[in-house]
Amino acid sequence: MLKIYKDNSDDLGFVIGCLFSQAINLCEFRLWVDSVIEKLPADLIPNYMFDLAGFDGHLFEISKIIGFVSSSKLSNDEKVSLSAIAYLRGADVYDPPVTKEEALKALERNPNILERFKSTFPFIKLN
């Protein structure tokens, strides 16, 4: 079961964390939302997922749309690892929390983040 609900939002929080860290872009975020909508039975899809499917606003508005702040339960080091994925994908990371080298070292310490990224976004091919 995907964790995209207010009382358990780990998966949604991870995806939003990927978006904020620039590991994914808004188009890829919407592709993930679409994939969730396709996978789940209609009665299990929160209404905000339909709103997110067409989302094209400012990132800070996402919490307003879903009605809560999602939680990924990632450690700070794991969050830095998301920046490494952004760098690996060639993103020009805006206001990075650490240097590219530090981010890549964090990803080496947290290979689970890269595996989770790959399983969460199977439509994204990494070099």
Give the sign of the dihedral formed by CA 48, CA 52, CA 53, CA 55.
Answer: positive
| pLDDT of residue 127 exceeding 80 | no
The rounded distance, in Å, linking the Cα atoms of 121 and 50 is 19
pLDDT-based confidence at residue 1 (cuts at 50, 70, 90) = confident
| pLDDT of residue 126 exceeding 90 | no
Please report how many Cα atoms fall inside a 13 Å half-sphere around the Cα of residue 26, on the Cβ side: 10
pLDDT tens, residue by residue, 76-89: 999 999 999 999 99
The rounded distance, in Å, linking the Cα atoms of 49 and 6 is 12
pLDDT tens, residue by residue, 19-59: 999 999 999 999 999 999 999 999 999 999 999 999 999 99
pLDDT tens, residue by residue, 99-118: 999 999 999 999 999 999 99
Contact present, 100 and 80 (Cβ < 8 Å): no
